Structure 1
Amino acid sequence: MAEFESVVDYSTVLDNFEGPLDLLLHLIKEAKIEIKDVFVSQVTEQYLQYIAAMDIIDVEKASEYLGMAATLVEIKSKALLPKPEEFLEDLEDPEQALIRQLEEYKIFKETSEKLKQQENVNRFYKEPDKSAGDVKIVYKDFTLDGLIAAFSKLLLKVDAQKREKSTQKEIPKDVFTVADKVYFIRDTLLQRQSMSFFELFTDYYTKNELITTFQALLELLKRQYVKVEQSGVFDDITITLREDRNEEIGEIDEYN
């Protein structure tokens, strides 16, 4: 197995695995471990014990796992509290909730890794055209961390909205593909020339829609179809069309 650099300080111990949680997710991604075979109660208990034992929380390292920690606490609470029989059919199974959270986190990690593979000094540059002179700078006042921070901000908003609506039965939303969102962003920009990252979402977007839209933006960045500007980390991002873009977008990677 290729060398894996973990950002987690604690180990999860299962019957078929011992190591940091992000390594577990890496092995799941590589199909070394089936995600549905993970003993959820062990992962939950060990993560909560790790958090409880910390004297000082390293915010930088812990921030990536805030969403998962909230899910684990929610699962623990649901397991302890009695559930009225008439509401059981509306509640998501605790193990399925964590499996879904792990799968979403796996998508986010894969997306970040693909983005970093394209990253260099000026971010997402094309191969130089020797007949065209100097290579153009694609981004202004923008970093990879800034884009991920803006994405994380929206993820936290989704979790907060979900907790507020936990007693309401939601109507299933449409399922979008990365290609759908790529064309949505393209068509919107062709009409408006520019838009903000946060404007890509309605007030009641789902986490799946957020992840899919984020992946679509990464695809457009990778293909040099758009450019972005950002004043600071966690600030909104302005997306505009590149004047030298290739109008033919081509086949879209669905990240799965």
Structure 2
Amino acid sequence: MISSEQQDLDPGWEENVQALALKVRRRPLFARELRLLQLVRFLSERWRTVSDLQTVSEEAPVTAWIIRRKSDVVLPQVEPENEPEVLEPVEEHDEAWIEPATMALQQLWHSAQAFYSRPVSLQSAHPYRPIKGATVWKLAWSWPRLHVPKSSIPERVVTAENDPLEVRMDQFMRRLRSYERPVPFELMVNAHQPSEVVTTFLAMVHLWHRQEVQVEQPGAFDPIWISLGG
């Protein structure tokens, strides 16, 4: 905050930090009269009270510039700028306020970037135009890379069975009647291939359910004997 002897020069500066920066820009030595710690405290209170954080976020860099301007005035410079006023010696306690005030402003500025996001501009270069009635599945189906034409899908042609079950059952009964006695299951198989064994066994089971044949197996893993039903 400004000292008591300088408050009359700029009444109501708390409401306009930009005006205070303009005065410091016009009169660089005016920054020597600023109490930087009170200025930082004032700005930190505005972070808690002002609802429009965008306005306060614009004041933070301006206040940081004021502190930087005062540091240029109170600290010795290797290449001093051509100022219209002559630099005067300063007190030691003024130099002690510069670093804490700058660190406090940097913390406020980082907190503003972390917790405040500016609103998105409504005048976008590529506005989003939603499609009426569009869903994820409709958009995926209409996308040419995802939609596969049905004509490109190969069709699987299933050939008809050359030896259906009824034909195999008739062959099984004719062969069984030719023996006129119980025969083992191995004699009823045309060829010892897995497909032939399975189809012959399936025909035997169906005939057994119809009670046209009798199936006997004395023990586990013993030969299966087949005879005509009663």
Confirm or deny a common fold (TM above 0.5): no
* Rg larger in structure: 2
Task: Output the TM-score relative to the length of structure 2.
Answer: 0.28
Task: Output the TM-score relative to the length of structure 1.
Answer: 0.25
Structure of higher RCO (CA pairs closer than 8 Å, 6+ residues apart): 1
